[in-house]
Amino acid sequence: MTEKEKGSVLQFAPFQSAVDEGFWHRLSSLKLNKFGIDDSPIPITGFYAPCTNSRVSNHLSLIAESLPPEPSEQSSVATSLGNRNRCSVPGILYNTNTLEGFHSLDKQCLLKAEAKKIWDDIHSGKAEEDSAVLSRFLLISFADLKKWSFHYWFAFPALVLDPPATLVDLKPASQWLSLEEAESLSAACNEWRSSSVTADVPFFLVSIASNSRATIKHLKEWTSCQQDGDKFLFGFYDPCHLPTNPGWPLRNFLALICSRWNLEKVCFFCYRENRGFADLSLSLIGEALISISQGWKDPQQVPNAVGWELNRGKKVSKCISLAQSMDPIRLAVSAADLNLKLMRWRALPSLNLNMLSATKCLLLGAGTLGCQVARMLMAWGVRKITLLDSGKVAMSNPLRQSLYTLEDCLNDGDFKATAAVKSLERIFPAVEAEGVVMGIPMPGHPVPSQEVRNVLEDCRRLQDLIDSHDAIFLLTDTRESRWLPALLCANSNKIAITAALGFDSFLVMRHGAGPIGTVNDLKAEDTINLSAGMGNISLRDGDREQRLGCYFCNDVVAPVDSTANRTLDQQCTVTRPGLAPIASALAVELLVGILHHPHGIYAKAEFANSTDTGSTEQPLGILPHQVRGSLSQFSQMTLVGHSSSSCTACCTTVVSEYRNRGMDFILQAINHPTYLEDLTGLTELMKSANSFELDWDNEVDDDDCIEI
């Protein structure tokens, strides 16, 4: 006891934490994409190494690889084994769903639970097999994914010796050992640290023989080493740089030594380095005396534990904000996808964000509808958008067309297609938008001979655009401008969605599949694009039921010039301002529904509360064919219209004629208004209707009269 009276209480330098930004980015990704609202504890891995600087301690670090890998990823933690600069330490993460939940965690209970794991590992012998478990750690956190701020608190559980250990002596290892012993120990440490088998083993035994030869051994070799009669040092990788204190890992090492091996006098070796090699002038050797209470001999009685990391000397959590340091584009992408990823937590687990982001959308028309549809598509996670329009931004446009400002109207106005793309990129820099300045050739608008070549080139370009996209929105002002896109979509079997406005009414509809659209009819490249981007869409019409109609299927006349001999209010799209956002939103929702429906473009028309939908209702709800609405009545109804065998845009006759004659057919349809009616039989149908006579019965029977 006289030696204890001469000594002082052994004090340890606390562990310090360091978290790389990559850890928080990866945690955010896992939270959004994998964990959701599941707040179960997550196993993580921390890394530390011996001190390498006489002025700075090493930290226990967390990096992106500290978190568990995705099923498709190879674990990088496994590949870090044997890395001398990354000694792995097991930890546990409790990430709460709310800030209130973070603050209300029972921190003392969590700390005691981790301390019990260390205590059990000591008594089971696991700590001698895998000494890294002596440095287990705990992390609690809350990730605010709206503000990109993270609240967190580390704990490094340490079993409290009772009574505390007494420090008898502590000095640099070079002063403790003889010159021969120091040289031999340095060589042994360098060899231990150079081996891929032992480089990251943080606790070890040092045996020094009578001939001054030092040997380093694993903890599990303790029993066999006692027979040698050598003197022993209990070594550990010390992250601390202080010349007066050993580092935090020694605390649980002493707990193992006294409870497992019943030693009362311990010589410990705080191993430290300089430029990657053992530095015995920086390393410390100390002598401590330990006497423990009877309770320590009972494996069921867990000692008290300490270890919550201090923040500037106070027991409070830390908070870090990454909003300022993040790349603005990356921050925009994360924020834009936040709402969609939150949908998958509870409301819509089957939402396929990869499919949406890969879907290529072509918007024909960059006016009131086109602007709204483009923004709605981006809100749903669609990243590939092409806008086609030949017009320029006029002074009357910015108030109704949300992508334009006054600057776009100046100097005769910018082209809508290019101005819209610039606006989309300002709103969301990660969008892959393209503007195409081009008019759409239309029936009823004859082409002068000198313009034929240019018009046919526009037709071919439009065909190429439709073939290279997955979904096409028909958002133009006139009926006849929708004819050629409707035909080309039917020919290529593309998803086509029409939105059309009246003064206070609207129509939103999806076109049915093409009349002869099968997998073999599609180009190989298109098939690859579709299967890659929309893997759940069937390209086979298994039911062979009547196709859904297109925009022109209910017409009995061919499209003609609808702007000729019209007043200004009849030439412009004069609508109630609230109409376009409603129709645009429904058009985009219709596309998302098609993409997520198992039958895709072949899905039958569905109605609310219908028992004949052919399948159970999908997670996004019903998938109607047409939605017609009226603002004057504040009403909306879903309708279905089947394909017509006399349709001027999508019937088998028209599509076959286009495939056989190509651009000659289109040119004839444009220049001769009645050609399409003659081809499809509408001319004969109208003649039959006009010649139909009703045989009226003019005789009156008195019995049929009612006396009033």
Q: How far apart are the first and last CA of the chain?
A: 129
Q: What is the full DSSP assignment across 494-525?
A: -EEEEEEE-SSEEEEEE----TT--GGGS-HH
Contact 181, 274 (CB under 8 A): no
Q: Say what angle helices 652-661 and 663-671 make with each other, to 10 degrees.
A: 120
Cβ 243 vs Cβ 254: under 8 Å: no
Rounded Cα distance between 571 and 391, Å, is 14
Q: What is the 3-state secondary structure (H, E, C) of 35-89?
A: HCCCCCCEEEEEEECCCCCCCCCCCEEECHHHCCCCCCCCCHHHHCCCCCCCEEE
Could you tell me the two tokens for 29?
């990704």
Neighbours of 55 (CB within 10 A): 6
The closest alpha carbon to 487, from 437, 443, 539, 524, belongs to 443
Pairing of strands 137-144, 87-96: parallel
Between CA 662 and CA 596 the distance in angstroms is 33
Sign of CA dihedral 193, 199, 200, 205: negative
- Angle at the Cα of 696 from the Cα atoms of 695 and 698, rounded to 5 degrees: 140
Output the six-digit token pair for 657.
């004629």
| Block residue for tokens 């959590």 | 317
Length of the chain in terms of residues written: 708
What's the CA gap between 372 and 346, in Å, rounded? 28
- For residue 621, the 8-state DSSP code is B
Place of tokens 């010159």: 179
Q: How far apart are CA 207 and CA 215, in angstroms?
A: 5
Residue 642 is given by DSSP the state: B
| Cβ contact 443:670 at 8 Å | yes
Q: Residue 257 is inside which H or E element, if any? A: helix 250-260
Q: Which residues of 251-287 are buried (b: 16+ CB within 10 A; e: fewer)?
A: bbbbbbbbbeeeeeebbbbbbbbbeeebbbebbbbbb
Task: Pull the structure tokens for residue 214.
Answer: 């030092």
Instruction: Please give the single-letter amino acid code of residue 161.
Output: L
Active site residue ranges: 572
Which residue's entry shows tokens 């504890």? 41
Contact 502, 536 (CB under 8 A): no
3-state helix, strand, coil in the chain (%, to 5): 35, 20, 40
Sheet hosting strand 265-271, strand order edge to edge: 8-9, 166-172, 284-289, 265-271, 231-237, 203-208, 214-217
Q: How many CB atoms lie within 10 A of CB 557?
A: 14
